[in-house]
Structure 1
Amino acid sequence: MITLYGIKNCDTVKKARSWLEQHNVDYRFHDFRADGLTLAQVKNWITEIGLETLVNKRSTTWKELDEATKTHFNETTAATVISENPTLIKRPLLDTGKQKYVGFKDAEYTTIFN
């Protein structure tokens, strides 16, 4: 089962959902805020995707973190911080069941689903 993770009011998530629907891709939408995330999920994503790819350091959420949290943000502390602040994750996160992709680009989705 393909799962698209994000938040429903994010423009990029809306574009990805629209693309999937227009191309008749069967998927499930998981809203970080409404449906939550587990610490285990976040740890797996950090391992599979990598911390630098997973976290959006240009986000408002990142900018609002206190300096101590940002200074000590690393592989060890990140899962807890992200679990408490899921909007730190670059959106959307697409899980095809075989691989995970972060962000949305029309051309990339075309490649993934062809």
Structure 2
Amino acid sequence: MRLFGLKNCDTCRKALKTLTSAEFVDVRAVGVPNEVMLQAFAAFGDSLLNTRSTTWRNLNAEQRKVAPLTLLAEHPTLMKRPLIEHEGELFLGWTPKVQAALG
């Protein structure tokens, strides 16, 4: 199991506290492998973008028009977190539904 997120993200920390066997991957430092990002985008579409983030708010209107995958490659902190990969399946966020599926 791999958890893609940010080390200073409260939601990621909560998930890691519960998922003690998860390998943490800091998207700011390491990024998300291209094949995982493509699979995540196919599964979650535009909801993979965190439009409430500080990074998003700092983008101008022209930058926001760029294709989501390009934006995520340039600004990995735009990804909603955590993105959890478990046995070939992807989960986005740390909702009660995700917690039940992984618990």
- TM-score by shorter chain over 0.5: yes
Percent identical residues: 33
After TM superposition, list the pairs within 5 Å mapping 1:42-81 onto structure 2: 42-51=37-46, 53-70=47-64, 72-73=65-66, 77-81=67-71
TM-score, normalization by structure 2: 0.86
User: What residue in structure 1 maps to residue 13 of structure 2?
Assistant: 14
Aligned length: 103
The residue identity in structure 1 corresponding to 2:97 is E
Per the alignment, in what secondary structure is the counterpart of residue 91 of structure 2? Answer: strand
Task: Name the residue aligned to 1:32.
Answer: 27
Encode CA deviations 1:45-82: one digit per residue, 9 max, x unaligned: 2112212x211101111111121121x24xxx221111
Letter in 2 for 1:5: F
Could you list the runs of 5+ residues in structure 2 that have no partner in the other structure?
none
**Does the CA contact (< 8 Å) of 2:81 and 2:93 recur in 1?**
yes
Aligned structure 1 segments of 4 or more residues deviating by more than 4 angstroms: none
Which structure is higher in RCO with an 8 Å CA cutoff and minimum separation 6? 1
Distance 1:50 1:42, change over 3 A: same
Per the alignment, residue 90 of structure 1 pairs with 80
Q: CA RMSD in A?
A: 1.7
Asked if structure 2 preserves the Cα contact closer than 8 Å seen for 1:39 and 1:80, the reply is no
